[in-house]
């Protein structure tokens, strides 16, 4: 479950974290809570797929790569723009959370839209979130939104599990020169400011970007450094969750 501003690769991180958690023998679902610009169908190669209804009148999540997947795109007829006011959006979100045959699940990863608006608030109020992961780039302009999001989640008592820094660095494919295209130390600054752990830092990776655009998640392909980073991220989340379970029961 995670949040921040858009364009920082949040959805791509969500999907590959879900796959890494699934590898650790968890039953994992992923919910695309971006009503206006759903990207899950592209990322999980489920474009133009539509959901069906179960005998008990629940919506059946689509299954691909061993993940239960749900997005507003699986419920709407066309690919057209969704022009909805706040209230309709809230109803859609509630439907995606409550009227989908999710269970049994160990994890439901919710890929939140950018910002700290109605959708984020409603989800925090509708379901008891175990935690939220903040995804950011190192850039100062990105940190502005993440700071707001951290404050909002603290206000509504959702635990923040830590920070993932995406687009941390770039290595030239020809000469190997490293360049911090989007700046540096962004996650470190946030970590110091809010006393949060940095869970992982992910480089800019053209293959990763292509895999995302083509619906072939890297966690389903050959082992790369990026895969081991997602495995590490999943391991930390798993440990945090099991620790929480032990201390609360």
The residues of the shown chain that bind a copy of itself, judged by CB under 8 A, are 5-8, 11-12, 34, 36-39, 42-43, 79-87, 89, 113-118, 121, 137, 139-142, 144-145, 147-152, 155-156, 170, 172-175, 177, 179-183, 204, 206, 209-210, 212-214
Instruction: Taking the CA atoms of 213, 218, 221 and 222 in sequence, report the sign of the dihedral they define.
Output: positive
Question: Which residue, 21 or 149, is less far from a copy of itself as judged by CB?
Answer: 149
Q: In the bound complex, what is the minimum distance in angstroms from residue 196's beta carbon to a copy of itself?
A: 15
Given the DSSP bridges, would you call strands 178-179 and 170-171 parallel, antiparallel or unpaired?
Answer: antiparallel
Instruction: Indicate the DSSP class of residue 90.
Output: H
Name the strand (E) or helix (H) holding 243: helix 225-248
Question: Which C-beta is closer to a copy of itself: that of 4 or that of 200?
Answer: 4
Q: Which is nearer to a copy of itself, 21 or 204 (CB)?
A: 204
- How far apart, in whole angstroms, are the C-alpha atoms of residue 232 and residue 17? 9
What is the rounded CA–CA span in Å between residue 154 and residue 210?
Answer: 35
> 12 or 237, CB closer to a copy of itself?
12
CA–CA distances in Å: residue 206 to residues 17, 39, 122: 18, 18, 35
To a copy of itself, the closest distance from the beta carbon of 41 in angstroms equals 9
Please give the distance of CA 51 from its chain centroid, rounded to a whole number: 21
Q: Which is nearer to a copy of itself, 140 or 223 (CB)?
A: 140
Nearer to a copy of itself, 173 or 249 (CB): 173
The CB-of-5 to a copy of itself minimum distance in angstroms stands at 5
Minimum distance, C-beta of residue 195 to a copy of itself, in the bound complex (Å)? 17
Distance in angstroms (rounded) separating the CA atoms of residues 180 and 213:
23
Min dist CB 228 to a copy of itself, Å, is: 22
- Residue 107 CB, nearest approach to a copy of itself (Å): 23
Cα dist from 16 to 93, 109, 149, 192, 227, whole Å: 22, 11, 22, 27, 8
């Amino acid at each position: 479950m995670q949040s921040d501003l858009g364009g920082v690769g949040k959805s791509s991180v969500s999907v590959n974290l879900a796959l890494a958690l699934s590898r650790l023998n968890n039953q994992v679902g992923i919910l695309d809570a971006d009503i206006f610009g759903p990207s899950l169908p592209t990322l999980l190669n489920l474009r133009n797929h539509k959901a069906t209804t179960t005998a008990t009148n629940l919506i059946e999540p689509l299954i691909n790569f061993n993940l239960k997947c749900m997005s507003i795109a699986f419920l709407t007829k066309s690919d057209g723009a969704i022009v909805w006011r706040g209230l309709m959006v809230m109803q859609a979100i509630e439907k995606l959370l409550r009227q989908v045959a999710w269970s049994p699940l160990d994890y439901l990863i919710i890929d939140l839209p950018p910002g700290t608006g109605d959708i984020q608030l409603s989800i925090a109020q509708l379901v008891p979130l175990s935690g939220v992961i903040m995804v950011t780039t190192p850039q100062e302009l990105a940190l502005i939104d993440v700071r707001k999001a951290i404050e909002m989640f603290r206000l509504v008592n959702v635990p923040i599990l830590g920070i993932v820094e995406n687009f941390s660095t770039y290595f030239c494919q020809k000469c190997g020169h490293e360049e911090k295209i989007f700046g540096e130390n962004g996650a470190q600054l946030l970590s110091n400011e809010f006393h949060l752990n940095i869970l992982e830092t992910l480089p800019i990776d053209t293959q990763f970007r292509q895999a995302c655009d083509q619906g072939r998640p890297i966690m389903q392909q050959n082992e790369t450094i990026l895969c081991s980073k997602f495995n590490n991220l999943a391991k930390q989340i798993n440990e945090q969750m099991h620790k929480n379970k032990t201390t609360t029961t």
